[in-house]
Amino acid sequence: MSNYVGPKSRLYRRFGIRLQTNSDLKQTHPTLKKAYPPGMHGPKGTFGKKSEYARQLMEKQKAKVIFNVSENHMKKYFDMASKIEGITADEMLKLLELRLDNVIFKSGIATTRYQARQMVGHGLIELNGKVASIPSMQVKTGDKFNLVAKKKDSANFKKNSEQPVKAPKWLNVDLKNMSGEVSRTPDKGELEPLVAGHLIVEFYSK
């Protein structure tokens, strides 16, 4: 899914959810204006009733779209979570939440996860004082992150710093200075609410 270069709104409409962003969406945005799946049937298209397997598959695909990860990475997170003591579904979602690109998005430094991934990949983010260029890096409690100094005066990023973003409680964020710290790991109630992790676990457990 990370290699997809087409319209992001089509992916979100497929699952009946709005594009996740830290900026306000215009009412004309496809994920708000077109509350039906993309395709030739237009407004007559429906999400329909699905089998249990189809629901599990769709949930996995939705998680890949939301977190902007590939199939290989998704399976890797499931395998890693299976080895951690605790509820596998919750541990898997925690691993996804603690990706560096997701943290940059949740902090408000980036407006979308797609932008966050690009920022990390282009070496615009520092983690604990060193440039981090791998979006899938796992952050941990105490890790500090920030936009590189040479980009803080960029008009695009300055606009991001002025967005009224409410960062999750497990992050301490200074958006004015485009920096933050991971204060703790997210609790169960702070995991991505749009993803039913248990369905993904059921899919991979077959």
Domain 51-98+188-206, CATH number (from 1.10.260.30, 1.10.1050.10, 3.40.605.10, 2.10.10.90):
1.10.1050.10
CA–CA dist 107, 167 (Å, integer): 5
Q: Is 189 left (phi over 0), alpha (psi -120 to 50) or beta?
A: alpha
Assigned token pair, 120: 């990390």
Could you tell me whether strands 144-147 and 130-132 are parallel, antiparallel, or unpaired per DSSP bridges? unpaired
pLDDT in 10s for each residue of the chain, 206 residues: 445 566 677 777 777 777 777 766 555 555 445 555 555 455 555 556 789 999 999 999 999 999 999 999 999 999 999 999 999 999 999 999 999 999 999 999 999 999 999 999 999 999 999 999 999 999 999 999 999 999 888 887 888 888 878 899 999 999 999 999 999 999 999 999 999 999 999 999 98
Q: Helix (H) and strand (E) counts for the chain?
A: 9, 5
How many Cβ atoms are within 10 Å of 36's Cβ, its own excluded? 14
Tell me which architecture the domain covering 108-184 has in CATH. Roll (3.10)
Q: What 3-state class would DSSP assign to 125?
A: strand
Strands (E) in 55-169, as ranges, are 125-127, 130-132, 144-147
What's the pTM value of the predicted model, to 2 decimals?
A: 0.85
Among residues 108, 98, 83, 112, the alpha carbon closest in space to that of 167 is found at 108
The domain segmentation of the chain, as residue ranges, is 1-49, 51-98+188-206, 108-184
Query: Using the 8-state DSSP alphabet, how is residue 189 labeled?
Result: G
Length of the chain, in residues: 206
**Span 29-84, pLDDT tens digits:** 554 455 555 554 555 555 567 899 999 999 999 999 999 999 999 999 999 999 99
Q: Which residues contact 195 (CB under 8 A, 6 or more apart)?
A: 59, 62, 63, 66, 93
